[in-house]
Amino acid sequence: MKLSPEERKEKRKEVNRQYQLKNKEVLKEKRKEYLKKRLQNMTEEQREKRKEKRKESNKRLRQNMTEEQKEKKKEYDKRRYQSRTKEQKEERREYYKRKWENRTEEQKNKTITPLKQ
């Protein structure tokens, strides 16, 4: 019994989906390792370029969101925050605290200036 091209495509999709579900953690670790190696081999200029590109992409995505999508994202973020453990919340606070302390004067002034207006 031969499958039609559409059926083969659907079957392949399903097999891939099952593989993804089954090996979720393993694949996540592989991506993490790959990214870690890739970032180590980048120059500072390449890192900055990558960061800017990601920032622009995120900005575009946020601007093109519909009200419904914004609402869904807000609800998702709320649930995500509520489901964090105390340890996770504390880690996040510490991270932001370190981040705030490690900023340059220019970065600090950039943040403070809009608040004064």
Cα(93)–Cα(88) distance, integer angstroms: 9
- Let me know if residue 87 belongs to a domain: no
How many domains does the chain contain in total? 1
pTM as predicted: 0.41
- Let me know if residue 22 belongs to a domain: yes
State the DSSP code for 85. Answer: -
Instruction: Write the CB contacts of 28 (distance below 8 Å, at least 6 apart in sequence).
Output: none
- Let me know if residue 69 belongs to a domain: no
State the DSSP code for 64. Answer: T
Range of the domain at 55: 1-64
What Rg value do the Cα atoms of the chain yield, rounded? 21
pLDDT digits (tens, 9 = 90+) for 6-29: 999 999 999 999 998 888 889 889
State the DSSP code for 2. Answer: P
pLDDT digits (tens, 9 = 90+) for 67-88: 999 999 999 999 988 888 999 9
- Let me know if residue 44 belongs to a domain: yes
